[in-house]
Amino acid sequence: MKTGLAALINSSAEFQKAFKENRPFVVHNNFENLKPLTSLPFLNSLDDLLNSWPMPIQAHLPDVRDEASSIDTTNKDARKLFDNGMGLLFNEAHLISPVLTDWLEEIRQNLGLPMMTIGRCLMYATPDGKGTAPHFDQNINFVIQVHGTKKWILAPNETVENPLTRHTMGLEPDPELASYLEAPMPTKMPHETMSFELKPGSVLFVPRGVWHETEADGNALSLNFTYTAPSWIDLFSTALRGRLAQSPEWRAMAQKSEVELDALLDMIKADLPHWRARDVLEATFGE
């Protein structure tokens, strides 16, 4: 039986092209390959999930309909909030399932992502007629529809390429994100959109930075494999820190001294011409 990326999207050439071009990709009626996941006992129903969940549950408040405005709640209160139209997020679901943990790691390796990648399994319970406000993520997502139907509307991001943080439309961007915006943030979804209707057995790949919003048709439950992969900034700065940590001069307590810092920077200038891509990759991929 297939597992990992091959099971989610059949490792098709079409997906590989979409992944490289940062485009959404969808597979429908993938029931057989998803059975090891969808047959997990706590995914039989929302009530089964609530009864077995050992951690706080995040409820999305109606003012924003997004995790940017949410509260942590208990299993008992989560059901009441859901019945009153609030979406629920079950975070770090792989911590309660060895199966999810294995798939999470296998998919990371299949994608060729570094060990520094932060991988998580998330589960979303969405009430009928409700959904998530328009936003984009700094991570990539594989969405598996387990129960119900959920409509996804996605649009290209003309405001920022390769964002390092998440952003919800209508809210203020964080200062670092604001520093490299190429245009003002939109206040409504762009005209150029694409729609996908996910039903049980559907898998949707949502690329990093793509605008998206959702709406459930009937109560819906989905499972996400999400990966926040390091940028080249992260890889280089990690390798650089490891290199500088070998120097007692760089490990010294910092003070406001231009003379001292100039001397340290001269050390980097002398060392950097000897760096090769292999050095950085070996220090960060660990494989």
- Taking the C-alpha atoms of residue 287 and residue 281, their distance in angstroms, rounded to an integer, is 9
pLDDT given at position 282: 83
Superfamily of domain 4-228 in the CATH hierarchy: Cupin (2.60.120.650)
What type of residue sits at position 111?
L
pLDDT band for position 253 (cuts 50, 70, 90): very high
pLDDT band for position 158 (cuts 50, 70, 90): very high
pLDDT given at position 97: 97
pLDDT at 287 over 80: no
Q: What pTM was estimated for this model as a whole?
A: 0.91
pLDDT at 154 over 80: yes
Phi, psi of 145 (to 5 degrees): -80, 120
R_g over Cα of the chain: 22
pLDDT at 227 over 80: yes
Question: Which stretches within the chain are classed as H helix?
Answer: 4-9, 13-21, 31-38, 46-52, 75-83, 98-111, 175-179, 232-244, 248-251, 258-271, 277-285
Q: What residue segments make up the domains of the chain, in order of their start?
A: 4-228, 232-285
pLDDT given at position 142: 98
**Which helix (DSSP H) or strand (DSSP E) does residue 195 occupy?**
strand 194-198
Report the pLDDT averaged over residues 203-218.
97
pLDDT given at position 281: 87
CB 223 within 8 A of CB 141: no
Beta bridge pairs of residue 126: 220
pLDDT band for position 280 (cuts 50, 70, 90): confident
Locate tokens 């694409």: which residue? 194
**DSSP annotation string for 60-83:** E-TTT-BTTBEEEE-HHHHHHHHH
pLDDT given at position 67: 87
pLDDT at 11 over 80: no
- Taking the C-alpha atoms of residue 214 and residue 35, their distance in angstroms, rounded to an integer, is 24
Average pLDDT, the chain: 94
pLDDT given at position 19: 95
Q: Collapse the DSSP code of 116 into the 3-class scheme (helix H, G, I; strand E, B; otherwise coil) and give the result.
A: coil
SS3 content of the chain, % helix, strand, coil (to 5): 40, 25, 35
pLDDT band for position 2 (cuts 50, 70, 90): confident
